[in-house]
Amino acid sequence: MNTQEFYINGQWVAPNSAATMDVINPSTEEVCATIAIGNQADTDAAVAAAKAAFPGWSQTNKADRVALLQKFRDIYVSRAEDMAQAISTEMGAPQQLARVQQIGAGTWHIDGFLKAFDGFEFEKMHTPTEATLLEPIGVCALITPWNWPMNQIILKVIPAIATGCTVVLKPSEVSPLSGILFAEFMHEAGFPAGVFNLVNGDGLGVGSQLSCHPDVDMVSFTGSSRAGIAISKVAADTLKRVSLELGGKGANIIFADADEDAVNRGAARCFRNSGQSCNAPTRMLVERSRYDEAVIQAAATAEATRVGPASEEGEHIGPVVSEAQFTKIQDLIEIGKKEARLVAGGTGRPDGLNRGYFVRPTVFADVNNDMEIARTEIFGPVLSIIPFDAEEEAVALANDTVYGLTNYVQSSDDAKRMRVGRQLRSGMVETNGKGFAQGSPFGGYKQSGNGREGGAFGLHEFLEVKALSGFVAD
């Protein structure tokens, strides 16, 4: 694995900077790799390669692009175990989670894009003599997070390249090993030089350099709302398109008539990936008549959730990704103990674990929306339970947040589920545990961002619209 080099213009190259950064295994707190960190010269070289490749790549036909994407998919599947181990080591996903969900999310989205791309029309007649053309936007800077590495890299790189864009990827410096492997797969698949480029670095360095670069036509970013705001500001001077997928504080509304497993299902979903998912249902809103029972059930789910090293097999959760993340979560749990009623978990590591960034699955009851634990995206296995008395109150509580990514509704009354779902101010509403279909649009309202990823919606993110009169087909 070329941890000391960047992938630029179809080859692995030494960085211009001597700066490096250690990658920490969160299960052991030990260094598992050291990566090179780029500077302005590295960023400029990657952008220049993408810019030079764009005229040729943008004019290739769909069949040629599909052939390369399919070849990449085959390589991705054949080296899935290598990728799973990289993700498990760098960000703490346990073996089963890494193999099934972390890697599986990538395959799922590749297949969804290939399916959408097959019937995608880049030219449509607006009138008998005028066409509407969809054309690639140009050079795209793709800045991805550490929590679902392949999910987010594939949600950006594949549609950008499929539509004829060229890209520079900056994966998270916290979990860069999976991104480096991804670059190896792209090279093996045989994409032309400059179509895909990778430079490692942090947000303040390479991330900011890409965001304000005059030769970058679009930035697609997934991460915190704070970073999304900063990227938007530095990108404004060049008026480039900025697509953002940001944080969340999802409400899970559980009505009294919800199925008996609704509470356990919601709590387990909150704790999945050690709570490090922007769409996690971290606020559980429970109708008053079922509230006491729900608190007991959620606490039991937390206590039954095993925590252990990522290297171990089994259906447990691993550590959170870093010392900084661990400290932030511990501080917020301490705040929660002063604000609400702690019914499971708490500060400190789980019993038997004295090393690694492991967090106890934690549940707070008697929470209200004015509390910090109800308003802040904790990004750890911490659930807040809030009672409500009426449907209108539940909707108001769910919408009383700066975020709007994913909300959840649990009820046996179909009319109520649909009525509430339509009133929730979020890009996605999942009801009764029914997951979303392949190609569904992933994205949010308000401070959860402005982009949509997945399927045809994800392809549109990387396209410009052109009107052409006097049109004559080739």
Catalytic residue IDs? 245, 278
For residue 17, give the amino acid letter.
S
**Radius of gyration of the chain from its Cα atoms, rounded to whole angstroms:** 23
How many CB atoms neighbour CB 213 within 10 A?
A: 24
**Residues 300, 289 contacting (CB under 8 angstroms):** no
How many CB atoms neighbour CB 341 within 10 A?
A: 13
CA distance 115 to 110: 9
Burial of 354 (0-12, 13-18, 19+ CB in 10 A): exposed
Of the candidates 261, 257, 273, 272, the one whose C-alpha atom is nearest the C-alpha of residue 394 is: 257
**Residues 253, 284 contacting (CB under 8 angstroms):** no
CA distance 147 to 153: 11
- Angle of helix 288-304 relative to helix 262-271, nearest 10 degrees, comes to 50
Integer CA distances (angstroms), 205 to 10, 122, 200, 395, 470, in order: 23, 36, 10, 41, 47
For residue 110, give the amino acid letter.
I
CA distance 422 to 378: 27
